[in-house]
Amino acid sequence: MREILFRAAERAQIRLTLVANQSLPVPRSRWISTVRVGAGFDVADGYIAQRVAAGDLVITQDIPLAAEVVERGAEALSPRGERFTPDNVRQRLSVRNFLEELRGAGVQTGGPNSLTPADRKSFADALDRWLAQG
């Protein structure tokens, strides 16, 4: 997904900031930057949530972060191209919390499937739609 984001940032000339608790290789660009946060549970998510503003787009598969981003008036998009809305993010958060309870009780729930070429295309298409409306 990063390559799709890198190309989109250059093409649309918009700022792209990657936030992680480790160094990330990025191409030299006036539009692309990284922020390295400290290690720890949800440190990167906290950093993003504190700084997100209306009009921003956050790419995440973390449902609690997506919920917070949407609540703050920004937009969130999954790496599979799903746009989180106030309605669907609440439903997704409920499902996520239920699955977490099951895992806490010892039930094996599995994880997400690997990203497919179709997922990448859906993501690129959703990103293009967001860029076109901006």
Asked whether 20 and 37 are in contact (CB, 8 A), the reply is yes
Place of tokens 């998009």: 77
pTM of the model as a whole: 0.85
Q: What is the pLDDT of residues 5-16, one digit of tens each?
A: 999 999 999 999
Task: Examine the pLDDT at 58 and tell me if it is beyond 90.
Answer: yes
Q: What is the pLDDT of residues 39-51, one digit of tens each?
A: 998 999 999 999 9
Q: Report phi then psi at 75, rounded to 5.
A: -115, 150
Going from N- to C-terminal start, the domains of the chain cover 2-133
